Amino acid sequence: MRLHSSQREAVNPVGFADKPREKALGILHRAETGAFVDILIDQARRIFDDRDSAFILELVYGTLRNRRRIDWIVDLFSAQPIALTDLWTRNILRLGVYQLLFLDRVPVSAIVNTATELAKTYGKKSGYVNGLLRNLDRKRTTITYPGPEDPIRQLSILHSHPDWLVKRWIEQFGKERTESLLQKNNLPAPLIIRTNVLKATRDELKVSLILAGAEVTETRYSPIGLQVSSSPGIQRLSAYMQGLFMIQDQAAQLIGMMLRPSPGEVVLDACAAPGGKATHLAEMMKNHGTLIALEKDFDRLTKIRENSKRLGLTIIIPRFQDASRYQKGSFDKILIDAPCSGLGVLRRHPDGRWNKTERIIKERRKIQELILENCSRLLKPGGALVYATCTTELEENENVLTTFLSGTGKEFTVEDARSFLPPAAANLVDEKGFFHSYPLAPEMDGFFGARLRKRK
C-alpha cells in the first residue's frame, strides 16, 4: 500500500516509509519515550494489510517481552553498553537480535541487511549494527547468562522483567512460582470475547463465528465467554458489527458478575473506559435501569459511547468526571475498577514493565483509597459495591480494603465472592472471600476483586 506524503506524516511520526520493520522500529522508539504501544499498534493496523500488521505486532511485542535479555546479549558483543548508544540504534539492534534469536522463519541475511539499511537513516551507525549482528550470528552458541547465585538478576535477565518487580514477586510468591509467572507473562495473551446475551446465546455466537471461518472454544470460568484462536479479522466479522460480542478477558467478565446488578437498578461504574465492564453490567440489567459511567479522560469517553452503540445498549450515561470527587446521585450497586499499577496484565501490555517503577504502587494506592472512600458514600444502605484491580500487589488490593474497613468503611462487610460467581470460578476465591486470578492459568489475566455490602 502506498500513502500520500500527508498521510504518511500523520501516521508515522518520524516520516519513514510504510514498511513493517520500519513501522515496528518507530513504535519501539516512541514506546521508550512514554507512548502507549496499544494505540500505536492500532494505528498501524489501519495502514497495513493483515499480514504486515501481524508481523509488526510480532516484532514489537516480541522485542518488548524479551528486551532485558536482548540488552544483556548485545552488551556481550558490544564494546559499549547498549544503554549508552542512541535511542534509534538501540532499538534497531533490539529488533535485529529478536529476529535472529527468537524467530526461525526470517533469513539471517534479510535481518542483517534490513537493520543495516535502517541504521543508515536512523542513528547513523550502520557499520556498528552490521558488525554486531553478524558477529552475534556466528557466535550465538557462546551466549551465557547469570547463574542461580543471584536469583533476582538471573530471572530478570532470562525472562526480561525489571529487577524491582522480580524481587517483589519472589518475596510474595517464592522463586518457583515467580519464575512460572514470568514465563506466562512472555506468552501471547489469549483473545477472549464476551457474548452479548441480549442478542445471542454463547452457543449461537459460537456457531456464527465458526461459520464465518473463526476457530473458537468455550471458556472454562465464564459461561458466556469464548476464546478465539484464529479468525478472518475480529472486527470485520459480521457478529462483531452486529454487536453480538465484546472483547473482554475472562477475569474482567467475572468481576462484572460479582456485582450482579438487576434490571431497573441505578448503577455506577466509577472508572469506566473503554466500557467493557459498563456494557457487561448493562447487559445483566437487560438494558433496563440507569448506569452512570464515569471517566476523567475526556478522549476515552468516545470508546464508551462507541461500544454502547454497537452493542445496542441505551441505559449507559457517560460522564466526564473524577470518581474520587463525584458526588451526584444515590446508587443500588457500584463498581470500582480502580486505576492501578496494572501488574496483572503485563502479558497484554509488555511495554508496561519498562514504563513503570515501584513508586507507581504507592501512587495508585492513594488514588484507590480516595475513590473507594468517595464512592462508598454514594451507595444506598443495603447496596453492594465491588472493588477490583488488575494488579497482583497486596498494597493495592487487600491493604486498601483493610484500611477502608477499619476507618470510613466500618458500615461495610465483605461478602464471599463465591456466592456471586459461576461454580467453575469458586476455586479462584480465597478464605477471606476475595477473588484472585493470575496469568499462571494461561487463559486468565491477573485480577483482584472484593464484594462489599453496606449495612442497612
Tens of pLDDT, residue by residue over 294-336, are 999 998 999 999 999 999 999 999 999 999 999 999 999 999 9
CATH of the domain at 136: 1.10.940.10
What is the Cα–Cα distance from 440 to 185, expressed in whole angstroms?
A: 8
CATH of the domain at 229: 3.30.70.1170
Place of cell 534490513: 114
Residue 11's pLDDT band (boundaries 50, 70, 90)?
very low
- Decide if 253 is inside a domain: no
Whether pLDDT at 33 is above 60? yes
pLDDT at 350 (0 to 100)? 95
Phi and psi at 415, nearest 5°, equal -105, 145
pLDDT at 10 (0 to 100)? 34
pLDDT at 383 (0 to 100)? 98
What is the Cα–Cα distance from 408 to 402, expressed in whole angstroms?
A: 11
For the record, the C-alpha cell of 35 comes out as: 507512548
Nearest to 319 by CA among 309, 333, 305, 307: 305
pLDDT at 154 (0 to 100)? 97
First-to-final CA distance of the chain: 63
Q: Which domain range does residue 57 map to? A: 5-142
Query: What average pLDDT does the segment 103-107 reach?
Result: 89
pLDDT at 34 (0 to 100)? 87
CA geometry: angle at 25 spanning 27 and 247, to 5°? Answer: 40
Whether pLDDT at 271 is above 80? yes
- Note the pLDDT tens digit of each residue in 395-412: 999 999 999 999 999 999
Residues 209 and 339 in one domain: no
DSSP H helix total and E strand total for the chain: 19, 12
pLDDT at 45 (0 to 100)? 86
Q: How far is CA 248 from CA 103, 245, 265, 278, 346, in A?
A: 29, 9, 24, 12, 16
- Lowest-pLDDT range of 121-125, 126-130, 256-260, 340-344: 121-125
- Beta-carbon contacts of 451 under 8 Å, excluding residues fewer than 6 positions away, are 258, 259, 384, 385, 386, 414, 415, 417, 420, 433
- Decide if 252 is inside a domain: no
- Lowest-pLDDT range of 15-29, 164-178, 200-214, 362-376: 15-29
Query: What average pLDDT does the segment 331-359 reach?
Result: 96
Residues 121 and 155 in one domain: no
Query: What average pLDDT does the segment 229-245 reach?
Result: 94
Nearest to 441 by CA among 251, 277, 276, 257: 251
Residues 83 and 202 in one domain: no
Nearest to 245 by CA among 300, 194, 188, 174: 194
- Decide if 40 is inside a domain: yes
Q: Give alpha helix (H) positions in 139-174.
A: 151-158, 163-173
Whether pLDDT at 4 is above 60? no
pLDDT at 50 (0 to 100)? 85
- Decide if 94 is inside a domain: yes
pLDDT at 13 (0 to 100)? 38
Q: Where is the domain boundary, 142, 175, 199?
A: 142
What is the Cα–Cα distance from 55 to 25, expressed in whole angstroms?
A: 12
Query: What average pLDDT does the segment 415-431 reach?
Result: 96
Residues 402 and 448 in one domain: yes
Residues in the chain: 456
In contact, 270 and 323? CB cutoff 8 Å: yes
* Residues in a beta bridge with 389: 448
pLDDT at 16 (0 to 100)? 42
- Decide if 305 is inside a domain: yes
- Decide if 58 is inside a domain: yes
Q: Give alpha helix (H) positions in 195-249.
A: 202-211, 238-241
Nearest to 375 by CA among 348, 432, 336, 318: 336
Residues 209 and 116 in one domain: no
pLDDT at 138 (0 to 100)? 96
Residue 218 or 123, more confident:
218
What is the Cα–Cα distance from 329 to 321, expressed in whole angstroms?
A: 13
Residues 286 and 410 in one domain: yes
pLDDT at 442 (0 to 100)? 63
Residues 267 and 288 in one domain: yes
pLDDT at 243 (0 to 100)? 98
Whether pLDDT at 136 is above 60? yes
- Beta-carbon contacts of 109 under 8 Å, excluding residues fewer than 6 positions away, are none
pLDDT at 7 (0 to 100)? 34
| % pLDDT > 70, the chain | 96
pLDDT at 5 (0 to 100)? 33
pLDDT at 15 (0 to 100)? 41
Q: Catalytic one among 271, 340, 375, 390?
A: 390
What is the Cα–Cα distance from 396 to 362, expressed in whole angstroms?
A: 8
- Decide if 300 is inside a domain: yes
pLDDT at 24 (0 to 100)? 96
Residue 3's pLDDT band (boundaries 50, 70, 90)?
very low
Amino acid identity for residue 376 in this structure? S
340 as an active site residue: the answer is: no
Helix axes 50-65, 67-77, angle to 10 degrees: 70
Residues 26 and 103 in one domain: yes
Residues 369 and 347 in one domain: yes
Residues 22 and 71 in one domain: yes
Total domain count, the chain: 4
Average pLDDT of the chain to the nearest whole number: 93
Place of cell 535472529: 100
pLDDT at 106 (0 to 100)? 87
- Lowest-pLDDT range of 63-72, 83-92, 95-104, 432-441: 432-441
- Decide if 353 is inside a domain: yes
Residues 316 and 174 in one domain: no
Residues 35 and 121 in one domain: yes
Phi and psi at 341, nearest 5°, equal -70, -20
Amino acid identity for residue 14 in this structure? V
